[in-house]
A and B are shown apart, each in its own frame.
Chain A
């Protein structure tokens, strides 16, 4: 089996869902899905895609690796960029804002990584700690929503929405070409074997947290451009739905299996589902049930499919 096909089998269900949902959306709501509005649509989906992609590296690193502070970090970057940099210091240049945001993301990621790999606190507890700290600090520097955002940043949610996503994708493709990627997957699938083979397990995992922090900061910027303001309450809502998207996209929560492409597809699935149900004008309550149902059904089907393929040989 070619490597591409093997990659696809893990995310099989998510891809099928993507095609079905896309066709349904285009047929039922041609006005919303005409080519000229693709930029805006992608801008709408971008924060969730970013959050899902950001959540994936630490999950791939295995042994309970997970970062539930991704959502609060997005909110923190959002508040920092608008409140501190743009409104207080009057900085609007992308050449300062983007590196600053990424630096903050990498720093928080490194802190998470240090707590989870060097202090060796269970990742969900360590990132729960940073979740609470980031949410608290965000609410302290930004008690209520405030705006606006710089114009160039707002444009990133419109016609140029593909750009930040493409940059993240490129970044990951480059990582995949380095030996680090193989080490990450090795650590994720069996850290004890990797350790005996001389892989620096702690460092590999630590770097995964930094990558997650970087991508989460990028997702925070995309969130900022979408809402065109700063809101302390939106960021944290992304955490759980992002982890759901990752699972939907065939990334195993046990680590070592799946990829960022799958996570992105999972996120797009959730976005398309949301968009489809809104077309039908169903209430947000039904939307909530549908989210949960699709999530459970998807992971169940993936598990059953895996079980069957194992039995065959």
Chain B
């Protein structure tokens, strides 16, 4: 049944990857140097950063939630890491502290949203605003400090790992992707995640504690957002509180283009990776063709609508009875 395969999750992911490849070919034909080694390296690094930021959004969306606090946590990790490192802290200690704080923020998101049954959109927005305000208050709006050499070389576009001409971030992300796919498909946590997402009422009957799942997943989301924040510190070189803001809608767009349903229970990290590649390709292509950023943004909106209307449609009410 071809129609069935076309509607399956695998087809969506394959479609998104094909789309990214197509865009790469179009770019190569239209823009000289589009497939030059340096250009591809830059594209991979930028895509990897978005991919790390989107890990949490993917998990949370499969769970049936949404996380608007990701950009705020990215900014928080970015600024706090730079500030503390600048004050002479040991960088490993800084990372542990930032990670633990992020996990606490995320756990609070999950606890309030699920425990009191409040829409996560509102909770994560509110918590995010508090986090951002606190960071601004602490730094007075002018964060200082810089990234240690380790992080910079981890994400530098010119970096290389052994024989590979890419910085360590890219192969690490490949390993991380394999791990996440494995966790989602083969561990009890993964099964429970899909179970809670597809039917929150039935999950407790299968002895799954939804509250625990929400706390764990939102904590993971904030943790990966913090990782993205620290990586961005290495990428840009200096701290900036609003560095995460573009990631608010980009993570959601990547997840959705990758075939996940915001109602929960459907989606995969491989799909998100495909979505990330599509978004990065479109961005690079249009900027390369000389369009202004504002036009690129409008085109991005159009492409999201187009892709999602092709394969991300919801069921009619009549089909839900």
A246 to B, closest residue via Cβ: B122
A288 to B302, CA, bound (A): 32
Let me know if B130 and A292 touch, CB within 8 A.
Answer: yes
Decide if B3 is an interface residue (CB 8 Å cutoff): no
Residues of B within 8 A of A202 (CB): 316-317
A138 to B295, CA, bound (A): 10
Let me know if A289 and B321 touch, CB within 8 A.
Answer: no
- Take A119-B309, A135-B294, A192-B317 as given contacts and tell me if A130 and B301 are in contact as well, using a CB distance cutoff of 8 Å: yes
Decide if A240 is an interface residue (CB 8 Å cutoff): yes
Residues of A within 8 A of B132 (CB): 288, 292
Decide if B90 is an interface residue (CB 8 Å cutoff): no
Residues of A within 8 A of B128 (CB): 292
- Take A120-B316, A136-B299, A192-B320 as given contacts and tell me if A243 and B122 are in contact as well, using a CB distance cutoff of 8 Å: yes
How many positions in chain A have a CB within 8 Å of any CB in the partner chain?
Answer: 54
For A12-40 the 0/1 string (1 means CB < 8 A from B) is 00000000000000000000000000000
For B45-88 the 0/1 string (1 means CB < 8 A from A) is 00000000000000000000010100000000000000000000
The B interface, classified by DSSP as helix, strand, loop or mixed, is helix
Contact partner of A253 (CB less than 8 A), chosen from B119, B126, B313, is B119
- Take A201-B317, A291-B129 as given contacts and tell me if A132 and B301 are in contact as well, using a CB distance cutoff of 8 Å: yes
Let me know if A191 and B301 touch, CB within 8 A.
Answer: no
A121 to B256, CA, bound (A): 10
A257 to B131, CA, bound (A): 30
Let me know if A288 and B129 touch, CB within 8 A.
Answer: yes
- Take A247-B119, A300-B112 as given contacts and tell me if A292 and B126 are in contact as well, using a CB distance cutoff of 8 Å: yes
- Take A125-B262, A196-B321, A292-B130 as given contacts and tell me if A120 and B313 are in contact as well, using a CB distance cutoff of 8 Å: yes
Query: Can you give 21 A-B contacts (C-beta < 8 A)?
Result: A115-B305, A120-B316, A121-B314, A122-B312, A125-B253, A125-B308, A128-B252, A128-B301, A133-B298, A135-B298, A136-B295, A192-B317, A202-B316, A243-B122, A253-B119, A254-B119, A285-B141, A286-B137, A292-B133, A295-B125, A300-B112
Besides A136-B298, A295-B129, 6 new A-B residue pairs in contact (Cβ under 8 A), listed by A number: A121-B308, A129-B305, A133-B301, A288-B130, A290-B133, A299-B126
